[in-house]
Amino acid sequence: MILTVTLNTALDITYRVGALRPHTSHRVSDVTERPGGKGVNVARVLAALGHETTVTGFAGGATGRAVREQLAETPGVRDALLPVAGATRRTIAVVDELTGDTTQLNEPGPQTAPAEWGAFLDHYEELLGGASVVALCGSLPPGVPVGAYAGLIKTARAAGVPVLLDTSGEPLRRGVAARPDLVKPNADELAELTGSHDPSRATQDARRRGARTVVASLGPQGLLALTPEGRWRAVPPTHEHGNPTGAGDSALAGLLSGLVEQLPWPDRLTRAVALSAATVRAPAAGEFDRAAYEKLLDRVTVTGGTTAA
């Protein structure tokens, strides 16, 4: 079982408009709602790939109920979310159909009480007993300690469960120091962590700070991976136009599934890049265009080798 942790779950709402213009009213042509938050998106993609997945984190209020109701209708995903008094957040993506650009609005999430956080720690430790790997994903809701991910990483390591981290800012900095097996920042998050805008140098710095493997997401330029086995670069054949929301989550799903299946690194990166690009073509985060994904698998370019990193 793959365990994904989304402390700040969300109801993802996507609006499509003909053209997004400030200071005007818009007629929405299409609306989609999906259970979201990074780890939930990852779990939905993993389930579509055929992997048994459990999601945990917090859910509360009417929005939390909507998230759980939709998760119950998602084959292959087990809901292990904990209830909280506060209301689960909403994230709003507005897709401009003229330009293909997406504007994202993210609410902060519910205030989490110390007792709720303590209950989650116990719950998490129990879930690790059945997990082959765990992914810690996304932002922290108000009230959760900034070092939360660092603590969760240490708990996973003590249980002998490989742990992947995908977050940003101070939670990422503290989490890297706890020595996760893999971190997957985007270019901006990596630069904020290391102070370097050179991805090659920044990935080396992130490894020195504690991460065993660093996979940097470079948007349309693909992925850069620095691992104990070597360094690779994986690039999609073309720049996909569409909604990029959730593309990074799909890339993480590709890396997780490749780890569980014990694929060599070039195959893991190929899958991650193909899934990410195919997600841009999908209507909402946590989904991918399967036909596009299968075509892209043969067209992703991977360079590098197994020289010690």
**Nearest in space to 266 (alpha carbons), one of 238, 230, 296:** 230
Q: Of the given ranges (18-27, 72-81, 237-246, 284-293), which has the lowest mean pLDDT?
A: 237-246
Q: Is the pLDDT of residue 1 over 70?
A: yes
**Nearest in space to 90 (alpha carbons), one of 117, 120, 53, 60:** 60
241-290 pLDDT tens trace: 666 777 889 999 999 999 999 999 999 999 999 999 888 877 666 688 88
Query: What secondary structure, in 3-state letters, does 59-128 show?
Result: ECHHHHHHHHHHHCCCCCEEECCEECCCCCEEEEEEEECCCCCEEEEECCCCCCCHHHHHHHHHHHHHHH
* Cβ contact 9:61 at 8 Å: no
Helix, coil or strand: residue 229: coil
Helix, coil or strand: residue 244: coil
* Cβ contact 13:32 at 8 Å: yes
Q: Of the given ranges (56-70, 80-94, 120-134, 242-256), which has the lowest mean pLDDT?
A: 242-256
Q: Which amino acid is at 104?
A: Q
Cα 57 off chain centre by: 14
Q: Is the pLDDT of residue 52 over 90?
A: yes
Residues known to be catalytic? 249
